[in-house]
Homo-oligomer: A and B are copies of this chain.
Amino acid sequence: MSSLSATPGSYSQPTPSPFSYSVASTRLSSRPSIHLSNLFLRSLSLVLSSVSAFLVAGTSNTKSNNNQKSSFYESPELLYCFIATMLVFVYSAYQLFKGVSDITYRGVLISDIVSDYSSFPLDQLAAYLLISSSSVAVTAIQQNELSTALRRATIVSVCMSFSAFVATAACAILSGYKLCTRIIW
């Protein structure tokens, strides 16, 4: 007798179908690795974007003796980079808060459906914003119009911003996967 022919006793427990699961209720229990990776990437993005933004803003107070630009708001490229990284910093902080509140309150504060549908486009937008602002900041470094201190700070800031972009792009892939499981199942 093959193993495929079920006994009458085991017939009451059929093969689990994806339709029998609730995605929201099994998210934390069946896919903890995705949730933890997401939290790790969000915190990485938060730290990197904040360092990138505050490094440029903090160095801007130093004075230079010639007509080079010594503060970030004198250069439109650096101003754009600062605003973009600040926006990503705020967004990462919100997503990290959402992730932690999911663990502690099980999604009471922010609805899972709203979060899943909004996360993917916002993540993509954040990633596009970061790669765009990093590219623009690289051209500002090449123009030799910045003071030495601001130039050095901008180089480090661009590296941080690019790393934040990689983390945000990975977050976007995870959000896209989450959204797909919600649409398909």
Identify which of residues 159-185 in chain A touch chain B, using a CB-to-CB cut-off of 8 Å: 169, 173, 176-177, 180-181, 183-185
Shortest Cβ distance from A139 into B: residue: B139
Residues of B within 8 A of A139 (CB): 77, 136, 139-140
Per-position 1/0 for A136-148, Cβ under 8 A of B: 1011101100000
A128 at the interface (CB under 8 A from B): yes
Can you tell how many copies of this chain the complex includes? Answer: 2
Residues of B within 8 A of A140 (CB): 139
User: Number of residues in A with C-beta < 8 Å to the partner?
Assistant: 27
Checking B124, B132, B142, B184 against A169 with a beta-carbon cut-off of 8 angstroms, the contacting residue is B124
A37 at the interface (CB under 8 A from B): no
A76 at the interface (CB under 8 A from B): yes
Describe A's contact surface by its main secondary structure: helix
A18 at the interface (CB under 8 A from B): yes
A12 at the interface (CB under 8 A from B): no
A131 at the interface (CB under 8 A from B): yes
A77 to B141, CA, bound (A): 13
Interface-centre pick from A76, A140, A173, A176 (highest chain B CB count, 10 A): A176
A68 at the interface (CB under 8 A from B): no
Residues of B within 8 A of A77 (CB): 139
